Amino acid sequence: MNIWLLFIILGIGNFLLRYSFVYLFGKVELTDTARRALRFVPPTVLLSLIMPAILRHQGQLDLTLDNPRFYAGLIAGLVAYKTKSVLFTLVVGMGLLYLLQNLL
Amino acid sequence: MQTNIKERMWAGVKAISPILLGVIPFAMIVGVFAVDAGLTQLEGIGMTAIVYAGASQLAAIQMLVERSALPVLILTVWVINLRFLLYSASLGEHFKDLSLGWKLLFSYLITDQGFAVSVVEFEENKEKPGKRYFYLGASLIMWLVFFLATGVGVLVGASVPASWNLDFAFPLSFMGLVVPTLKDRPAILAGLIAGTLTTLAVGIPYNLGLPISVLAGIGFGMLLEKLEQK
């Protein structure tokens, strides 16, 4: 598929999600059940992106010292929790990864 | 219109500024990733302009590299962005008197960050006029910063060696975003369930692991919430 066509399909979907209830305001309400469901989208999506990237190493689950990403990620997670800062988390996580890779 | 447009837009810019500090490295990573994955520089920034949802862009790029089936890639991106429905429903009330053109523009500009600062402002200053300009100021600067930082990313992207492990910045940059969403037990457990399932779902065909795990996590969270209320 042409890559631009793919972007446009993705973009149209994203736009419709954004425009949905701006357009429907006063016509259709988001039900309480839907609201309750959608509140879980950010934590489930983000942890689904974070956890495999840290826990999987060379294609499989790896919680040993051979996987420095696990330890760097764990500590970076604590930093994120304490500071809520994307920048700090990046600096600590990347720094630890280099350190661990060069030490181990 | 008595509202001081400039002043309200500027208030929006000021409110979102601290968040932009985190957006800059994140958007740069999106740009670096795009060219690393073999997209041209123009495709890299074009993706930001058209798709305009960073987390889902990173996921899409990764799936392009893994040569995932395109329908699954598309589904994954949309599932990641389901949260926009919630923002749309919340902002719809404030946008209801706008003309069609403004509604379309304002909708395109919806982001986690612009939404976050606007709902806080609208809640704290319910009667203050010029809400739309506050939102517009915050959202336009957000767009501009995201776009420019992606641009820097695609420019430097090709010169970043693989040994830098820049792909690790991808989960790291999400960590700062996920923390504020883990505000109660159902949300934390739903997130952990979804994350664990996605991690274990290596063998699921076509990379359907993420959308299925997310839906399972949502269902689990709703159930837990219901049980806790009793």
User: Which of the residue ranges A12-16, A19-23, A82-86, B163-167 would you say has the lowest mean pLDDT?
Assistant: B163-167
Q: Write down the pLDDT at residue A62.
A: 79
> Is residue B35 predicted with pLDDT exceeding 90?
yes
- For B109, B156, B187, the CA distances from B43, given in Å and listed in that order, are 20, 15, 36
Q: Find which of A3, A18, A35, A44 to mutate to test the B interface (most B CBs within 10 Å of its CB).
A: A44
Q: Write down the pLDDT at residue A29.
A: 82
In a domain, A35, yes or no: no
Cβ pairs A/B, distance under 8 A: 254
Q: Are residues A56 and A88 in the same domain?
A: yes
Q: Which amino acid is at A71?
A: Y
Q: Pull the structure tokens for residue A73.
A: 């990620």
Find out whether A70 and A58 touch, Cβ atoms under 8 Å. Answer: no
In a domain, A99, yes or no: yes
> Is residue B73 predicted with pLDDT exceeding 90?
yes
Contact A60 B202 (CB under 8 A): yes
* Interchain CB contact of A57 with B (< 8 Å): no
Residue B92's closest chain A neighbor by CA?
Answer: A22
User: pLDDT tens digit string along B194-204?
Assistant: 999 999 986 66
Q: How many folded domains does chain A comprise? A: 2
In a domain, A92, yes or no: yes
Q: What DSSP line would sit under chain B, residue for residue?
A: --S-HHHHHHHHHHHHHHHHHHHHHHHHHHHHHHHHTT--HHHHHHHHHHH--HHHHHHHHHHHHTT--HHHHHHHHHHHTTHHHHHHHHHHHHHTTS-HHHHHHHHHT--HHHHHHHHHHHHHTTT-S-HHHHHHHHHHHHHHHHHHHHHHHHHHHTTS-GGG-GGGHHHHHHHHHHGGG--SHHHHHHHHHHHHHHHHGGGSGGGTHHHHHHHHHHHHHHHHHHHHH-
User: pLDDT tens digit string along A72-93?
Assistant: 999 999 999 998 887 888 899 9
Residues in B touching A78 (Cβ below 8 Å): none
List A57's β-bridge partners, or say none: A60
- How many whole angstroms separate alpha carbon A70 and alpha carbon A57? 9
Tell me the residue range of the domain where A90 lies: 42-103
Quick check: helix, strand or coil at residue A58? coil
Q: How far is A32 from chain B (nearest CA, A)?
A: 11
Contact A43 B178 (CB under 8 A): yes
In a domain, A37, yes or no: no
- How many whole angstroms separate alpha carbon B132 and alpha carbon B112? 17
Q: Are residues A47 and A98 in the same domain?
A: yes
Residues in A touching B21 (Cβ below 8 Å): 85-87
* Interchain CB contact of B111 with A (< 8 Å): no
List A61's β-bridge partners, or say none: A56
In a domain, A77, yes or no: yes
Q: Are residues A52 and A79 in the same domain?
A: yes
> Is residue B45 predicted with pLDDT exceeding 90?
yes
Please state, as a whole number, how many other Cβ atoms lie within 10 Å of the Cβ of residue B152: 14
Q: Are residues A49 and A23 in the same domain?
A: no
Residue A102 pLDDT level (bands cut at 50, 70, 90): confident
* Interchain CB contact of B65 with A (< 8 Å): no
Q: How far is A63 from chain B (nearest CA, A)?
A: 12
In a domain, A36, yes or no: no
- How many whole angstroms separate alpha carbon A62 and alpha carbon B39? 31
Strands annotated E in A45-101: 56-57, 60-61
* Interchain CB contact of A49 with B (< 8 Å): yes
- The structural domains of chain B, with segments of one domain joined by +, span 5-161, 182-230
Residue A81's closest chain B neighbor by CA?
Answer: B179
* Interchain CB contact of B92 with A (< 8 Å): yes
Give A103 or B216, the one with higher predicted confidence: B216
Q: Find which of B166, B172, B182, B229 to mutate to test the A interface (most A CBs within 10 Å of its CB).
A: B172
* Interchain CB contact of B190 with A (< 8 Å): yes
